[in-house]
Amino acid sequence: MNGMDTLLIARGTKEVHLLPRMANRHGLIAGATGTGKTVSLRVLAEGFSDMGVPVFLSDVKGDLTGVAVPGGGNKKIEERIAALGLEGFQYEGYPVVFWDVFGERGHPVRTTVSEMGPLLLSRILNLNDTQSGVLSLVFRIADDNGLLLLDLKDLRAMAAFVGDNADRFKVEYGNVSRASVGAIQRNLLVLEEQGGDRFFGEPALSMEDLLQTDSRGRGTINILLADRLIRSPKVYATFLLWLLSELFEMLPEVGDPPKPKMVFFFDEAHLLFEDVSSALEEKIEQVVRLIRSKGVGVYFVTQNPLDLADPVLGQLGNRVQHALRAFTPRDQRAVRAAAETFRPNPAVNVTEAITELAVGEALLSMLDGKGAPEPVERAFVLPPRSSLTPLSPEEIRAIVRDSVLHGFYEKTVDRESAYEKLKERAEATARQEAEEAASRARAKEPKRDLFSAAAKSAAHAIGSQIGRQIIRGILGSFFGGKK
C-alpha cells in the first residue's frame, strides 16, 4: 500500500475511508463500554502501520498485545469478514515495540525531571498553585546554579536545599514557603512509592525510537503497557501529554503531509482533563492544535465525548462514534451532543441510531479532501487483522528481547547531577565544619552554630551514607572530646 491510498475502516450502505492526508486532523473514537472502541483503534493502527506510519498507543486493559501476531480461529471475526464481503482478507501480525514505564515487561521508558518541567510535574505531584509556584522556583534555582535535575533524588535534594536556605534565596527569588517545600517533598515520596522513581532518569526516551519502520516498510506499533500505570491516572495522563509535547518539540514543521509522520492514540482520554489547572488545560489544547502541522495525528478514545474539553473536541475531525447508553440525563446529553457534531445525512437518524448500534458498529464521519466532514454514515467497522487474544508474558518477553532496542534503555545511567553536586557540597561544608569544630575544641572556644544550614540539609535531605558518617564524625569528636 502506498501513502496515497485511502484507509478503508468500515462498511455500511457505503464504505467509509480515512484519507491519509487528513489523518493529522485528529480523531475521536467514542462509545460505551464493550461497544468496540479498542477494536476500532486497532483497525486504524493496523491501517496506519500498513501505510508505513508509526503508531503509539497505550494498552490500558492488556487487550492489545495480540497486535503482534496474526488473528484467525475466531468465529465472530470470521462471520464479520463474510458479512462485510471482505474478499482476500488476510490475517497479519504487526511490528510491535513494547514499552513500560516501570521497566518490568517492556523497554523502560524514562524522562528527566527537567524535561518533564514544573508544570507537568506539579500535576503528577498533586500540587496546588502556591506549591507549584515553589516547584518552579526550585527549577529556576537549579538552572541558575548549573545543577541538573535528572531523577527524583535530584529533585528531592534540590527541594530540601532550597527549603533549608529559604532565607538566602528570598532576596533574589522571593518567598519560598517551607510548608510548600514540605508538601513537594511528601508528594515526591508518594510518587516514589508508586514506582515513579523508575520513570525519571537516563537514558531518557529518544523520540526517534518511536518513529521506526520494519524491513517491509510498515510503521512500528509502539505499545505502552499501561495496566499498572493507569492505576495512577494523573501520572498516566500527564505522561502521555509529555510524550506528545516532546514529539511536538522534536519534529519539524511539515504542514499537511500526504500521510502523517506518526499517529498517537490517547486511550482513557477523559483522564487528561480531570482536575487540571487552567494553565495546563490551555497547554493541552495548544499542543493538540499545533502538533497537526508536525504531521502527528492524535486520536482520543473515550466513553463519553463530553468528558473532553470543548476546544479539544472541536479539533477532532475524523470520528467513530460507537453506541452510547441513554439511561441518565447526562447520558442523554452526551447522545444529543454526539448527534449534533455530525454533518447530517438524510438517510441516517443519528439520535435514534446512536443507542441502537451493535458491537463494532458505528456512526462515522471522516474529513473529505478539503478538510470538511463527510455526512455521517452508519457502518460496521472492519475486523482486525491481528489476534484479539493477548500474548502470554513469555511471548511479550521474547518480543522485547528480540527488539533492536533491547539493551539500550535497559541500562540506567546515573551521571553527576543536582543530587551528587549537593552531596559533594554538603560533604565539603561538613568537612570544613568538622575541622573548624575540632580547632575550636582545641582552643576551648564556646560552640556556636555547629551545624550550618547546609550541613543540616545535607544530613536529612540527602541522607547519604557519607553525609551521615561525617555528621557522626563531628558529633563523635565533639562529645568524644568532652568525655
Ligand X SMILES: Nc1ncnc2c1ncn2[C@@H]1O[C@H](COP(=O)(O)OP(=O)(O)OP(=O)(O)O)[C@@H](O)[C@H]1O
Binding site for ligand X (CB under 6 A): 31, 33-39, 61, 76-77, 80, 359-360, 381, 383, 388
Beta-bridged to residue 70, according to DSSP, are: 386
Q: Which does 47 bind (CB under 5 to 8 A by kind): Mg ion, ligand X, none?
A: none
Smallest separation (angstroms) from ligand X to the CB of 35: 5
Q: Which does 10 bind (CB under 5 to 8 A by kind): ligand X, Mg ion, none?
A: none
Smallest separation (angstroms) from ligand X to the CB of 42: 8
Site track for Mg ion across 185-224, x = CB under 5 A: ----------------------------------------
Query: Of the candidates 228, 235, 204, 198, which has an alpha carbon nearest to the alpha carbon of residue 122?
Result: 235
Contacts 24+ apart (CB under 8 A), 90-94: 90/385, 91/385, 91/386, 91/387, 92/46, 92/385, 92/386, 93/67, 93/68, 93/69, 93/386, 93/387, 94/45, 94/46, 94/49, 94/67, 94/68, 94/218, 94/221, 94/385, 94/386
Q: Which does 215 bind (CB under 5 to 8 A by kind): ligand X, Mg ion, none?
A: none
Q: Is 303 in the site for Mg ion (CB under 5 A)?
A: no
Q: Are 60 and 377 in contact (CB under 8 A)?
A: no
Smallest separation (angstroms) from ligand X to the CB of 91: 13
Q: Are 119 and 73 in contact (CB under 8 A)?
A: no
Tell me the chain's radius of gyration from C-alpha atoms. 27
Smallest separation (angstroms) from ligand X to the CB of 297: 19
368: Cα within 13 Å, side-chain hemisphere? 7
Query: Of the candidates 295, 154, 289, 293, which has an alpha carbon nearest to the alpha carbon of residue 219?
Result: 295
Smallest separation (angstroms) from ligand X to the CB of 96: 18
Q: Contact with Mg ion (CB under 5 A): which of 38, 131, 232, 387? A: 38
DSSP 252: P
Minimum CB distance to ligand X smaller for 39 or for 262: 39
- At a CB cut-off of 8 Å and minimum separation 6, what does 59 contact? 65, 223, 224, 225, 226, 227, 267
Buried b (16+ CB within 10 A) or exposed e, 82-117: eebeeeebebbebbbbbbbbbbebbbbbbbbbbbbb
Strands (DSSP E) along 219-261, which ranges?
Answer: 221-225
Minimum CB distance to ligand X smaller for 31 or for 163: 31
How many angstroms separate the first and last alpha carbons of the chain? 86
What amino acid is encoded at 52 in this protein? Answer: G
As given in the structure block, the three cell numbers for residue 24 are: 493529522
Minimum CB distance to ligand X smaller for 32 or for 141: 32
Smallest separation (angstroms) from ligand X to the CB of 431: 59
Q: For ligand X, which residue has the nearest CB?
A: 360
Minimum CB distance to Mg ion smaller for 41 or for 148: 41
Smallest separation (angstroms) from Mg ion to the CB of 7: 20
Minimum CB distance to Mg ion smaller for 22 or for 60: 60
Smallest separation (angstroms) from ligand X to the CB of 34: 5
- At a CB cut-off of 8 Å and minimum separation 6, what does 450 contact? 433, 437, 474, 478
Minimum CB distance to ligand X smaller for 12 or for 163: 12
What is the Cα–Cα distance from 390 to 67, expressed in whole angstroms? 8
Q: For Mg ion, which residue has the nearest CB?
A: 38
Minimum CB distance to ligand X smaller for 16 or for 121: 16
Smallest separation (angstroms) from ligand X to the CB of 357: 11
Minimum CB distance to Mg ion smaller for 322 or for 423: 322
Smallest separation (angstroms) from ligand X to the CB of 161: 45
Task: Kindly determine how many residues on this chain lie close enough to bind Mg ion according to the rule CB under 5 A.
Answer: 2
Query: Of the candidates 87, 40, 77, 48, which has an alpha carbon nearest to the alpha carbon of residue 379?
Result: 40
Q: Which does 123 bind (CB under 5 to 8 A by kind): ligand X, Mg ion, none?
A: none
Q: Which does 314 bind (CB under 5 to 8 A by kind): Mg ion, ligand X, none?
A: none
Minimum CB distance to ligand X smaller for 194 or for 389: 389
Smallest separation (angstroms) from ligand X to the CB of 336: 21
What is the Cα–Cα distance from 57 to 305, expressed in whole angstroms? 19
Minimum CB distance to ligand X smaller for 77 or for 454: 77
Alpha carbon separation from 334 to 186, 276, 285, 303, 318 (Å, rounded): 39, 21, 21, 10, 18
Q: Are 28 and 314 in contact (CB under 8 A)?
A: no
Which one of the spans 34-42, 366-374, 389-397, 442-450 is the region binding Mg ion (CB under 5 A)? 34-42
Q: Which does 81 bind (CB under 5 to 8 A by kind): Mg ion, ligand X, none?
A: none
Minimum CB distance to Mg ion smaller for 388 or for 441: 388
Which one of the spans 38-46, 100-108, 123-131, 394-402 is the region binding Mg ion (CB under 5 A)? 38-46
Contacting positions for Mg ion (CB under 5 A)? 37-38
